[in-house]
Amino acid sequence: MSTVLAVLFFILTSVQVSIGEVHKVGDSAGWTTIGNVDYKQWGATKNFQICDVIVFEYNPQFHNVIQVTHTEYKTCNASFPITTHTTGKDSITINTYGHHFFICGVPGHCQAGQKVDINVLRTPSVAPPPSASSSPVPTVPAPSPNDAAPFKKLGWLSLVLQLLFVVVLNAE
């Protein structure tokens, strides 16, 4: 029985770890100075969530990935890295809300546009204070299907796992 529990626990934890979406920076172009990839545009079209994985793919002979503050991002200053990644296939899991600024630390590359802002928006979870005339229904705009998708996915997965759990318990 304890083995079954351990296996289920393992499944549950691995599901939680892998639940985030994977975003490859620059899509098929990757992390590069070739082709004038618009990383600002790339980042603006994505709906980043906590636990999402940002993948930087590049030739480590020519590029790297340096996480910096907003000031360094604006000025393309790689002298004060928060983190440095150099493998050529760096997977960075985003664990906090707000902006995450990454630049290439090779001289001239950031200036040429090899910089990206991963902004994880706080989805409104708290209803605004009700006004005197408002209905009890919160007036927060409904999340778009895109926003809701990861949670829906998680909901289904946990439901399936719970069912599996019950079946296993009954079988013992």
Catalog residues that contact Cu ion under the rule CB under 5 A: 63, 104, 106, 109, 114
Q: How far is the CB of 114 from Cu ion (least distance, A)?
A: 5
Q: How far is the CB of 63 from Cu ion (least distance, A)?
A: 3
Q: How far is the CB of 67 from Cu ion (least distance, A)?
A: 14
Nearer to Cu ion, 20 or 105 (CB): 105
Q: Which helix (H) or strand (E) segment is 102 a member of?
A: strand 98-103
Nearer to Cu ion, 80 or 151 (CB): 80
Q: How far is the CB of 75 from Cu ion (least distance, A)?
A: 16
Residue 167 burial class via C-beta count within 10 angstroms: exposed 0-12, middle 13-18, buried 19 and up: exposed
List CB contacts of 166: < 8 A, sequence separation 6 or more. none
Cα angle vertex 48, ends 115, 113, to 5°? 10
Dig out the tokens for 79 from the structure. Answer: 């002298």
Nearer to Cu ion, 33 or 49 (CB): 33
Nearer to Cu ion, 29 or 106 (CB): 106
User: CB–CB of 66/83 below 8 Å?
Assistant: yes
